Amino acid sequence: MPLIRVLADMERVGVRLNQEDLKAISTSLREDIISLETEIFNLAGTEFNISSPKQLGDILFIRLKLDDKARVTKTKQFNTSEEILQRLAGRHPIIDKVLEYRGLKKLLSTYVEALPQLVDRKTGRIHTSYNQAVASTGRLSSNNPNLQNIPVRDERGREIRKAFVPEEGNIFLSADYSQIELRLMAHLSGDRNMMDDFLSGNDIHAATASKIFGVEIKDVTREMRSRAKTANFGIIYGISSFGLSERLTIGRKEAKDLIDGYFKSYPGVKKYMDESIRKARDLGYVTTMLGRRRYLRDILSRNQVVRGNAERNAINAPIQGTAADIIKIAMVKIYGKLKNDRYNSKMILQVHDELIFEVVPEELEKLREMAVYEMTNAIKLDVPLKVDWGTGRNWLEAH
DNA sequence: AACCTCACG
DNA sequence: ACGTACGTGAGGTTC
């Protein structure tokens, strides 16, 4: 069965949205937004459109003179992104209010107000579209609406995720790959140390911290683990000392030392990354484990910014793309079994490393075992794949 | 339509 | 001297 039919079926089935929940969220968001508006206008001493980066920039950096060396965007406007504002937070009480306003407004306009309008009249459910041919790495994308970016990180946003629910009597099952991209880095690079970290079943970020900071795993602090985690992510994306220093708010030198330490701990990873770039130069493309190609026309560019971008793509695409290939294999296999064994439960959503099923309770045990098995064994690697799962009466709870 | 900002993995 | 971590989609503002 080709993937496109699996996706078509998932789109057709859709997912239920509890509109009463959303109404309540809407009311409370609106109230908070209005009072934040008032506070912001008072602090600014004038009314303006807080949603306009241009007007906000003028207020913060000219009227209130909060310029932190006034960073600017392409078009020479003041940069008012969250990242910049965070750094100014201590300087004036308006900053926190603006950040909070922005967050709540985002939830309201992008989700709470938009989603109910996309509930299908006939089915009473939300039906996304999955695209197979948009993302250059081979990932799926989802639009109209995008159900791959439903909030989960903040408390307020999580309320929205709770509004995604199964039919009366059914339950959600969520199954997701644990650290699939880092596992792929371990496999593809063949780095003995990283492979051993996964084979021993240790917490990978703690294991990385232990190596780069030179302490026993048991002596790894939260801060060390958090930095190691950032470094691990950075590695997958084709790290630079600048990028890492920005994210950790540390100096360039310190970031460089950290990266050097990383590559000393995982020398195979460094070798693999260099090899990926060399391959891209030779062939003009890189491939995933399953042979999907990403062409990199800029890999020989004389412009180092453009070339650097292509080099990071050469590192990242085989990793992200292989992860995408793997979950697609699992989806096709799982879908085949759902059909063949006449399940009444349905696979309804895919979010890159996660599959969500709407399950009739009698089938839960069997389906959970089957789905986790198919995901875990979709491909044979030199390190184990791990799949976590959960169930619940809404999407958040299933996590 | 371009830009800025921000939601997710 | 430059600009700098991967991949998406969507809403609001501005031109």
**How would residue A297 be classed by pLDDT, with cut points 50, 70 and 90?**
very high
Q: Is the pLDDT of residue A44 over 90?
A: yes
Q: Which residue is nearest to nucleotide B3 (CA to C1')?
A: A75
Name the nucleotide nearest A315; use CA and C1'.
C6
Nearest to A139 by CA among A385, A377, A319: A319
Strand C contacted by A238 CB (< 7 A)? yes
Strand C contacted by A55 CB (< 7 A)? yes
3-class secondary structure, A63? helix
What's the pLDDT at A69?
A: 67
Over residues A108-149, the pLDDT tens digits come to 999 999 999 999 999 999 999 999 999 999 999 999 999 999
Q: What is the mean pLDDT of residues A27-37?
A: 98
**Residue A6, token pair as written in the block:** 């699996």
Q: Which bases in strand C are touched by protein, i.e. have an atom under 7 Å from a CB?
A: 1-15
Q: How far is the CA of A249 from the C1' of C13 (A)?
A: 31
What's the pLDDT at A249?
A: 87
Rounded to whole angstroms, the Cα distance separating A168 from A313 reads 45
Strand C contacted by A232 CB (< 7 A)? no
What's the pLDDT at A239?
A: 85
Nearest to A111 by CA among A158, A171, A153: A158
Q: In this structure, are strands A15-17 and A125-126 parallel, antiparallel, or unpaired?
A: antiparallel
Helices (H), chain A: 3-13, 19-44, 53-58, 82-88, 93-106, 155-162, 180-189, 192-199, 204-213, 222-237, 241-248, 252-265, 267-283, 304-340, 364-376
Question: Which residues, in sequence order, are CB contacts of A307 under 8 Å at separation 6+?
Answer: A298, A299, A300, A301
Q: How far is the CA of A236 from the C1' of C1 (A)?
A: 28
Rounded to whole angstroms, the Cα distance separating A268 from A198 reads 15
Q: Which residue is nearest to nucleotide B2 (CA to C1')?
A: A75
Rounded to whole angstroms, the Cα distance separating A15 from A3 reads 19
**pTM of the entire predicted model:** 0.96
Query: Among residues of chain A, what percentage have pLDDT more than 70?
Result: 99
Rounded to whole angstroms, the Cα distance separating A247 from A46 reads 34
**Residue A344, token pair as written in the block:** 């009444």
**How would residue A98 be classed by pLDDT, with cut points 50, 70 and 90?**
very high
Provide, for chain A, the percentages of residues in helix, strand and coil under a 3-state DSSP scheme, each rounded to the nearest 5. Answer: 55, 10, 30
Q: Is the pLDDT of residue A349 over 70?
A: yes
Strand C contacted by A237 CB (< 7 A)? yes
Q: What is the mean pLDDT of residues A230-245?
A: 92
Mean pLDDT across chain A, nearest whole number? 96
Rounded to whole angstroms, the Cα distance separating A147 from A164 reads 10
Spatial contact of A162 and A19, defined as CB atoms under 8 Å apart: no
What's the pLDDT at A70?
A: 67
Spatial contact of A280 and A314, defined as CB atoms under 8 Å apart: yes
Which residues of chain A between 110 and 129 are close to nucleic strand C, CB under 7 A? Answer: 110, 113-114
Q: Is A167 exposed, middle or buried (0-12, 13-18, 19+ CB in 10 A)?
A: exposed
Q: How far is the CA of A7 from the C1' of C12 (A)?
A: 31
What's the pLDDT at A76?
A: 80
Which residues of chain A between 280 and 299 are close to nucleic strand C, CB under 7 A? Answer: none
Over residues A178-224, the pLDDT tens digits come to 999 999 999 999 999 999 999 999 999 999 999 999 999 999 999 99
Q: How far is the CA of A131 from the C1' of C8 (A)?
A: 11
Q: What is the mean pLDDT of residues A364-370?
A: 98
Over residues A45-76, the pLDDT tens digits come to 999 999 999 999 999 999 999 876 667 887 78
Spatial contact of A334 and A349, defined as CB atoms under 8 Å apart: no
Strand C contacted by A149 CB (< 7 A)? yes
**How would residue A338 be classed by pLDDT, with cut points 50, 70 and 90?**
very high
Nearest to A395 by CA among A180, A150, A178: A150
Rounded to whole angstroms, the Cα distance separating A333 from A388 reads 18
Q: How far is the CA of A182 from the C1' of C7 (A)?
A: 16
**Residue A147, token pair as written in the block:** 């159900």
What's the pLDDT at A333?
A: 98
What's the pLDDT at A375?
A: 98
Nearest to A127 by CA among A12, A5, A3, A19: A12
Strand C contacted by A242 CB (< 7 A)? yes
What's the pLDDT at A68?
A: 60
Q: How far is the CA of A45 from the C1' of B9 (A)?
A: 41
Question: Which residues, in sequence order, are CB contacts of A394 under 8 Å at separation 6+?
Answer: A18, A161, A162, A163, A164, A165, A172
Listed range (A86-90, A291-295, A351-355, A373-377) with the worst mean pLDDT: A86-90
The continuous run of DSSP H or E covering A366 comes out as: helix A364-376
Spatial contact of A353 and A335, defined as CB atoms under 8 Å apart: no
Strand C contacted by A300 CB (< 7 A)? no
Instruction: Specify the amino acid at residue A161.
Output: R
User: Could you please report the per-residue DSSP string of A267-283?
Assistant: HHHHHHHHHHHHHHHHH
Ramachandran region, residue A67 (left: φ > 0; alpha: ψ -120 to 50; beta: rest): beta
Q: Which residues pair with A17 in a beta bridge?
A: A164
Crossing angle of the two packed helices A267-283 and A252-265, in degrees rounded to 10: 100
What's the pLDDT at A318?
A: 98
Name the nucleotide nearest A77; use CA and C1'.
B4
Strand C contacted by A139 CB (< 7 A)? yes
**Residue A317, token pair as written in the block:** 């695409």
Q: How far is the CA of A302 from the C1' of C2 (A)?
A: 13
Rounded to whole angstroms, the Cα distance separating A127 from A109 reads 19
Q: Is the pLDDT of residue A13 over 80?
A: yes
Over residues A249-275, the pLDDT tens digits come to 899 999 999 999 999 999 999 999 999
